[in-house]
Amino acid sequence: MSFVRDAFKMLGIDKPKSHAIFYKNGLKRFGSDFIDLMEIINSRNGGSFVDPYEKKNKSLELSIYVGSFFNYTKWESIFTWLEKENIDQPRKILDLGCECGITTCLLALMWPESEIIGIDACGPAIKCANNLSEYLNLKNIRFINCNLDKFSLSGSKFDLIFASFLTHEWLATNRVSPLINVDMDIKLENVKIKQTELIYVEKLATICNLLSTDGLFITIDRIPLIYGQYWYIKAAELAGLKFSIAKSYKIETKDGSESEKFPVNVFQRRKDDDRETHIDEVISLASFKNIPPLDLEDDIAEAFFRSFNKQEILFNSSIKYIDGSGVRYISLFRCGPILMRYDWTSLGYKHLLTFPLISLAEALNDCHTIIDQLDSIAEINSEITVAGLELLKSWGYSMNSVND
Ligand SMILES: C[S@@+](CC[C@H](N)C(=O)[O-])C[C@H]1O[C@@H](n2cnc3c(N)ncnc32)[C@H](O)[C@@H]1O
């Protein structure tokens, strides 16, 4: 069994049933507490600003029951991804906005040797979190009831700061967050952190100050448009963090017929030679490597290839068939946020394939796979160009992960 399924079982997190069964059983188990809470949740969905956390955490059972219904697939996707990431055991972990401690306990089960602190502004939630960690007999967790804006732990540095579905609340004024509140008329080139938004930069700077040198700040939230994503990266980088293209991800949750995607943004402390994340990178990131490629052959491939504004060559190869039957060229070009592989021969074969720019490492591996298969029948010259190497390095890739 996977870590996630085992851990969910220990925590009593069940796969959600249909809405009707959830409602019927909730009513049976929790009576008016359940009705009160659902009213608040429904009015929040309708746009009102009521805080649901006190009522939700009236008891640990109610909190887990309702939380599981709304968050099961989110927690499942996040922790499945985290498990696959194979992050070195962090010495110290901070879970921001931990609520009733589900995410904190999952982190503690994943890394039993780590020292973990969970923080939340809601008193009843912290009480539930303490009950949950006691029930699981987890000795490596401590919970603090505190508003993040007042939080300080002098001298403490964390190797992992985790914030799941906190930021849209924490980086908000009167519940309106720049992550969600978008103005479609603004061009990304004109996105600026406004004077009134500097308060959020200060908040993010406190995170930066709490991170150890190579520590990770992993933040998952609902950020529906590229505007919010770009704003967030810009604000975090102004606060001294650096967005990691290589480590970031996007989770997809499916509840019934509804599917939603949430970016998992990973930041580290900015190093001296780090540059700001570019708009093209953020646009290309929106796809999280999942856009279907444009896959063209023959003259239309050449027509597209010639009409793109090719800015940089990132990979080049020439493949000379030993039997003298011709030469094949495979190259990777960058065109803004799009990466293009053009593969053609002197005999008229033409093939064009597009990728999002951030898939450069995968696109290079694909090129190497094609080339490796031709090794015994051709003389091959290939290179990742300086521009390609610099791009990969700036994204935090080690060159071992991209074979040359
Ligand atoms: C949506 S819940 C997220 C719970 C949990 N992280 C998860 O993924 O299931 C957001 C939590 O953030 C907490 N929160 C919001 N603003 C906060 C602040 N300024 N300081 C501390 N906690 C805050 C709320 O009390 C709430 O428990």
Q: Which atom of ligand 1 is nearest to the CA of 220?
A: 8
Q: Which atom of ligand 1 is nearest to the CA of 149?
A: 19
- Rg (Cα) of the chain, in Å, rounded? 24
pLDDT score of 290: 66
Span 147-169, average pLDDT = 90
Q: Is 0.85 surpassed by the pTM of this model?
A: yes
Span 350-368, average pLDDT = 93
Structure-token pair, residue 17: 């049933």
DSSP 228-265: HHHHHHHHHHHTTEEE-TTT-EEEEEEETTEEEEEEEE
Alpha-carbon torsion, ordered 41, 43, 46, 48, to 10 deg? -110
Pocket of ligand 1 (CB under 6 A): 53, 71, 97-99, 102-103, 119-122, 125, 147-149, 164-166, 169-170
Task: Report the sign of the C-alpha dihedral through residues 106, 112, 118, 123, in that order.
Answer: positive
In terms of DSSP bridges, do strands 141-145 and 312-321 run parallel, antiparallel, or are they unpaired?
unpaired
For residues 8 and 15, what is the distance between their CA atoms, to the nearest angstrom? 9
Q: Indicate where the chain has its CATH 3.40.50.150 domain(s).
A: 3-285
Q: Which fold has domain 3-285?
A: Rossmann fold (3.40.50)
pLDDT score of 383: 95
CB of 23 within 8 A of CB of 31?
no
Pocket test for ligand 1, best of 99, 171, 204 (most atoms within 8 A of CB): 99
What are 211-256's pLDDT values in tens digits?
Answer: 999 999 999 999 988 889 999 999 999 999 999 988 898 888 876 6
